[in-house]
Amino acid sequence: MRDLAPTIAAQQPFGVNDEWTATHLERIAVSNGRRRDALQCLGRFVYPVELRTLAAHTVAIRNDLSVDTVEADATERMAIQLHHLDIPVLSASGLLAYDAESRLVVYTATDVMNQYASESVSEPRQFSAL
């Protein structure tokens, strides 16, 4: 999986410090509604979640459905979008950790959702396989 942080950081103006870059990466990460919804779903789990589970919950929240009623093809499309588009950005910004081999995702940020989406998370979580 491609790490986007060096690419995004390289585009920053001369003299920009790491703190500004980290904040900028967080803002880029949560600027997309699908990423915010995925983070909101992920923040509800206290353990690493399989990508397809996160995808099903994200589809459910985006379409105001029960997770049980989400169709398999919608889950598959969302899993592909999350894997290729959203998770790399969220991972580069430090909001989550993702193990592409096992397809497990864990929420690692504590205050970002409070700051950007008014969701409460008690403490950071770590994924020991990373």
Give residue-wise pLDDT tens across range 81-118.
999 999 998 998 888 999 999 999 999 876 554 554 44
Q: What is the pLDDT of residue 19?
A: 58
Torsion angle defined by CA atoms of residues 101, 76, 45 and 41, in that order, rounded to the nearest 10 degrees: 130
- Among 43-47, 51-55, 101-105, whose mean pLDDT is lowest? 43-47
Quote the DSSP letter at residue 54: H
Q: What is the pLDDT of residue 15?
A: 45
Q: What is the pTM of this model?
A: 0.70
To which H or E segment does residue 78 belong? helix 72-81
pLDDT at position 57 over 80: yes
pLDDT interval class at 31 (50, 70, 90):
confident
Contacts of 1 (CB under 8 A, 6+ apart): 87, 88, 91, 98, 100
CB 43 within 8 A of CB 107: yes
pLDDT digits (tens, 9 = 90+) for 74-86: 999 999 999 999 9
**Which among 127, 129, 119, 128 has a CA at the least distance from the CA of 44?**
119
